[in-house]
Amino acid sequence: MKLTNRLNAVVSLVSQRKVADIGCDHGKTAIKLILDKISDFVIASDVNKGPAEACRKNVAKYGLTEQIEVRCGNGISVLKPEEADCIIIAGMGGELISKIIDDNIKVAKSAKEIIMQPMTSEESLREYLTENGFCITDEVLAKEGEKIYVIIKAVTGEGTDKYYFSELLGKNDRELIDAYYKKVTKRINDKIKGAEIGNNTEESTRYKEILNEVNTIYESISNN
């Protein structure tokens, strides 16, 4: 089963045998986890009937109906506590991922790990995790075309207050780190410019402090 760089990075962080893939689309991630013997059982779920049915057909095609259970439902409401040791939520905005977790936080915290791939607003997701009893333990970068993505792994515990750029990125390929650094600093600089145009001194100062923090972490990573 061939996956995109983004989904391969998601799979690389899975360390548990019972997995739930929320927003499974056509089920390629679930199938990959079983075929590569990374996991023993996967619950593949999608909120829309079309993708869930497409996933069901792909699972049957590969003869994996005993190892992959397809469900149709909203977020992690399809799960019971401790039904999955790893929960994957990929391909959605960071704010939506936060909401999915928050809507069923008891189930989320019953898992041993949550692997998230936000398409946008990853700083918002990091902040949500930190403020709601999760600790980010790993961050992996993936590039597809001109776009760079971050995949975040978290467990229940005490987190960090670094929402834009983390020392955890240091193990990634240099080229990927540089590309992500440019993406993050552009976003922050845009915030600074917007605040200055609106004469919002407090907001401008806050983002300048964030930029300094990001630069410090980036330099630290670069020197290792």
Q: Which pTM value belongs to this model?
A: 0.94
Name the token pair of 190. Answer: 């845009």
Tens-place pLDDT, residues 81-140:
999 999 999 999 999 999 999 999 999 999 999 999 999 999 999 999 999 999 999 999
Token duo for residue 96: 């939506």
Listed residue (127, 101, 131, 99) closest to 114, CA to CA: 101
Report whether pLDDT(224) > 80: no
Q: Are residues 174 and 157 in the same domain?
A: no
Are residue 128 and residue 53 in the same domain, yes or no?
Answer: yes
Q: How far apart are CA 38 and CA 93, in angstroms?
A: 26
| Residue 106 shares a structural domain with residue 174 | no
Q: Is 21 exposed, middle or buried (0-12, 13-18, 19+ CB in 10 A)?
A: buried
Same domain, 42 and 99: yes
Taking the C-alpha atoms of residue 91 and residue 118, their distance in angstroms, rounded to an integer, is 6
State which residues form the domain around 207. 170-224
Q: Is residue 187 domain-shared with residue 123, that is, in the same domain?
A: no
Per-residue pLDDT reduced to its tens digit, 29-53: 999 999 999 999 999 999 999 999 9
List, for residues 134-168, the tens digit of each pLDDT value.
999 999 999 999 999 999 999 999 887 789 999 99
Tally of domains in the chain: 2
Going through 75-205 in order, the beta strands assigned E by DSSP cover 86-92, 113-118, 134-144, 147-156
Specify the DSSP element, H or E, that contains 14: none
Alpha carbon distance 208, 135 (integer Å):
25
